[in-house]
Structure 1
Amino acid sequence: MLLGVIADDFTGASDIANTISKGLLGQGGLRTAQFLGIPEENAPADIEAGVVSLKSRSIPAEQAIEQSLAALSWLLAQGCRQIVFKYCSTFDSTLEGNIGPVGEALAAALGVKGVVACPAFPGAGRTVYMGHLFVKDRLLNESGLQNHPLNPMTDPDIRRWLAQQAKDTVGLVAHERVRQGADVVRQILQEASTNGQTLVIVDAISDEDLVTIGTAANDHRLVTGGSGIAIGLPANFIRMGLATGNVGVPAGTEGPEAILAGSCSGATREQVGIHAQNHPTLAIDVDSVMSGETTSEILVDFLSKHRGAAPLVYSSGTPDEVGVVQSRYGRQAVADRLDALFAETAIKLVSSGVRRLVVAGGETSGAVVSALDLGALTIGPEIDPGVPVLLSHGEQPIALALKSGNFGAPDFFTKALERLSGR
């Protein structure tokens, strides 16, 4: 294995696995597998890039560090020459962590400083300029992410945000220096290392900038960022003759389908609304979940009755609705109960024969795939930017789409089910 990734949630893991598998246009990427948690066995010999999916974004920083270092140990044992710490392209984290603490812990374990920190993903509208993170034409704190139920992002200056999490001072490579080329970026990162700066925010407003950053970091043991940071990394291994360039293969399976949506993002709420116009949908009442009235049996019964019609169950709500529920029961209590409900539902769906499963929301996806315990997943074609088809192995493979809340076109759900069937 050449490239190892430690992802702090499952949808983000799929996102960066997709990026690495595609690589640059015309050059191809790396043969990539996504692992659900830290594997107990070695990776298949033909895998060039392995993505370890953790559910560490919103847990205490000490636990996130412990899990990330364990993932690092496994990846190094597979022979990885470079490690990527992947976090959300909207920098989802509280002031207490986990991006800074995990990034510095990995850097310390690898004995490096001057490490790239770049969440930019221009293909999904995430750009970084002068250390400020934009979501399309809005600053991060004006994009709706300030209302995130678990990790509200209230400051677009991610250099300042990261500095409150990190022990060392945080550096910056401004966009004008990125535009001067990979050699300039490499020099500034080396200066940052000499000055004792572990993490360095690097501006990027285009894919070309990300390729420049990837080229500058070709010999770095550690890189951190969103999935976009990996755009230029496969080409480094191809240029060195260590990989030939993966062209990708079709992936999918036929069979009964279901859609589970646990994200409260604006994009997911719009997608649910559009899907509901022509397909059966069931809204989950959180009060009834907390009281025990709504159970996984009820959700499975609804989804089973409507097989073949792309049925969907969802717990998405507006920021005001979410706030009311959280104030009543507690933020973490609500999240834990909904995660458990979706996980139990997914297990029963697969046991009953469902073979195509679409899941929206990072926390929801993490709960579902952890419960299913599918092992390594093959990375298939891209459905929408950042969301590939995932296919499990075995006699009865499961085709999955794990969608981050803000990702996907308005018609994502119906399109995803088509792609999961191999069409």
Structure 2
Amino acid sequence: MLLGCIGDDFTGSSDLGNTLVKAGMRAVQYAGTPAAPAAPEVEAGIVALKSRSLPRAEAVRLSLEALDWLHAQGCRQFLFKYCSTFDSTPEGNIGPVAEALADALGTDRVIFCPAFPAAGRMVFQGHLFVGNRLLSESGMENHPLTPMTDPDLRRWLARQTARGVGHLPADAVWAGAAAARARLDAEVQAGRGLVVADAIRDQDLVTLGQAVADLPLLTGGSGIALGLPGNFRAQGLLSAEGPRWRGQAGPAAVLSGSCSRATRRQVAHHVAGGAPALEIDPEAVLAGRASARQAADWALAQYGLPLVYSSADPEAVRAVQARHGTGTVAARLEAFVAETARLLVAGGVTRLITAGGETSGAVVEGLGLASLEIGPEIDPGVPAIRAGRDLVLALKSGNFGAEDFFAKAAACLEGAGVPA
């Protein structure tokens, strides 16, 4: 294994796998830290954790455990992957995990770059933009678990860490890898070893990848990996044969728990098109009036592509959380989704599409999936995934995907438009 990756959620980890596979690396995503060694043909291993919203001490512990396993696989470089909207609270977990990994690897410099231009995420002057809006005006300020209220990543990261926070500006990146390395050196010498890097184009991310080719650790969204396969290829370390994909026939279903604007548009598009859809009332789940068995039985009885969703307006979500507690609501809904997924697969579903990081994590854990083969891209940042001989998945981050994503994903998972 060449590249060892630690993701703080499941959808972001598959997003990273998508980037690496497109660049020709053989990538496998693991649900948590494996107990056994990786297969010898794996070039990039991605340990997907559900650590984004955990207490910081637990997130650090799990991340260091993943690092130890990846190190034992022979990895030459490590990447801590988090969301392209830098999802975190003022207490963490991005900063604390990155610091702990840096300490374990003995490095005095780490770049932070969640940019992903293909999905509209750009960093300029240390500020994160989503499309043409600042992060704090993008809808992420309403996230139920990690509301992002400050677009200045330097300020946000400084609240989470003990080390100094610096900046690698766009003009240094545009000047090339050598100039970017020189600016990084200057920031470290000034006592600012955690460096937020600007990037507004894919080429900027490739330049940054080249600039940190010799560093043990980097952090960011999936875009920061754009330049890494080329580094390994230049050393003659990559296999000439890329990964292959085969589609999967059989029934499909969608489970959606994200409240993001993108997912709510996808739900509305699906419903408007006349596809079968069942809205789940969180209050009914909490009161025991709605069960996973009822939802699964409904979906299995439908023709077409059934959607089971709880993707409500953020105000409605906050109202339910205020009445019952954020942790209680999240735990009950995730348990509902996990059990629904188990029943759907047991009932014959072979193509399962999920929307939302917490929802996707609950499904992967509920199905007891250990490793996932990363396949072709469905939409920017979202690959098809094979989870077993007869099960394929699309694990979509809430903010990703076009309006017709659900139907597009179902077709791709079946093999439509994918070279044999």
**Under TM normalisation by the shorter chain, which class is it?**
over 0.9
User: Which letter does structure 2 place at the counterpart of 1:416?
Assistant: A
Q: What is the DSSP-based 3-state SS (H/G/I as helix, E as strand, rest coil) of the residue aligned with 2:218? A: strand
Q: What is the DSSP-based 3-state SS (H/G/I as helix, E as strand, rest coil) of the residue aligned with 1:55? A: coil
1:252, 1:422 within 8 Å by CA — same for their partners in 2? yes
1:6, 1:85 within 8 Å by CA — same for their partners in 2? yes
**Which of 393, 402, 406 is equivalent to 1:409?**
402
Misfit runs of 4+, over 4 Å: none
Establish whether residue 114 from structure 1 lines up as the match of residue 104 from structure 2.
Answer: no
Alpha-carbon offset, residue 248 of structure 1: 3.5
Separation (CA, whole Å) in 2 of partners of 1:402 and 1:110: 31
Q: What is the DSSP-based 3-state SS (H/G/I as helix, E as strand, rest coil) of the residue aligned with 2:181? A: helix
Alpha-carbon offset, residue 246 of structure 1: 5.1
Partner of 2:235: 240
- Which digits, 9 at most, give the CA deviation of each residue in 1:52-105, with x for residues without a partner? 100000010000000000000000000000000000000000001000000000
Matches within 5 A, 1:276-295: 276-277=271-272, 278-295=274-291
Matches within 5 A, 1:244-393: 244-245=239-240, 247-277=242-272, 278-306=274-302, 308-393=303-388
Partner of 1:26: none
- Which digits, 9 at most, give the CA deviation of each residue in 1:86-130, with x for residues without a partner? 000000000010000000000000000221110000000000000
Separation (CA, whole Å) in 2 of partners of 1:262 and 1:246: 37
Establish whether residue 94 from structure 1 lines up as the match of residue 89 from structure 2.
Answer: yes
Partner of 2:57: 62
Separation (CA, whole Å) in 1 of partners of 2:247 and 2:61: 35
Q: What is the count of residue pairs matched by the alignment?
A: 415
Establish whether residue 126 from structure 1 lines up as the match of residue 117 from structure 2.
Answer: no
Separation (CA, whole Å) in 2 of partners of 1:331 and 1:408: 27
Q: CA RMSD in A?
A: 1.0
The percentage of counterpart residues that share the same residue type is 55
Q: What is the DSSP-based 3-state SS (H/G/I as helix, E as strand, rest coil) of the residue aligned with 1:165? A: coil
Partner of 2:152: 157
With over 3 angstroms needed to count, the CA separation of the structure-2 counterparts of 1:246 and 1:82, relative to structure 1, is farther
Separation (CA, whole Å) in 1 of partners of 2:281 and 2:150: 32
With over 3 angstroms needed to count, the CA separation of the structure-2 counterparts of 1:64 and 1:194, relative to structure 1, is same
Partner of 2:214: 219
User: Which letter does structure 2 place at the counterpart of 1:104?
Assistant: E
With over 3 angstroms needed to count, the CA separation of the structure-2 counterparts of 1:332 and 1:115, relative to structure 1, is same
1:113, 1:197 within 8 Å by CA — same for their partners in 2? no
Alpha-carbon offset, residue 371 of structure 1: 1.4
User: Which letter does structure 1 place at the counterpart of 2:38?
Assistant: A
Separation (CA, whole Å) in 1 of partners of 2:239 and 2:252: 36
Separation (CA, whole Å) in 1 of partners of 2:29 and 2:105: 23
Separation (CA, whole Å) in 1 of partners of 2:165 and 2:247: 43
Q: Which runs of 5+ in 1 are unaligned?
A: 24-28
Alpha-carbon offset, residue 245 of structure 1: 4.9
Q: Which runs of 5+ in 2 are unaligned?
A: none
Separation (CA, whole Å) in 2 of partners of 1:261 and 1:252: 22
Separation (CA, whole Å) in 2 of partners of 1:157 and 1:95: 12
- Which digits, 9 at most, give the CA deviation of each residue in 1:131-160, with x for residues without a partner? 000000000000000000100000000110
Separation (CA, whole Å) in 1 of partners of 2:122 and 2:335: 34
**Which of 18, 27, 30 is equivalent to 1:35?**
30
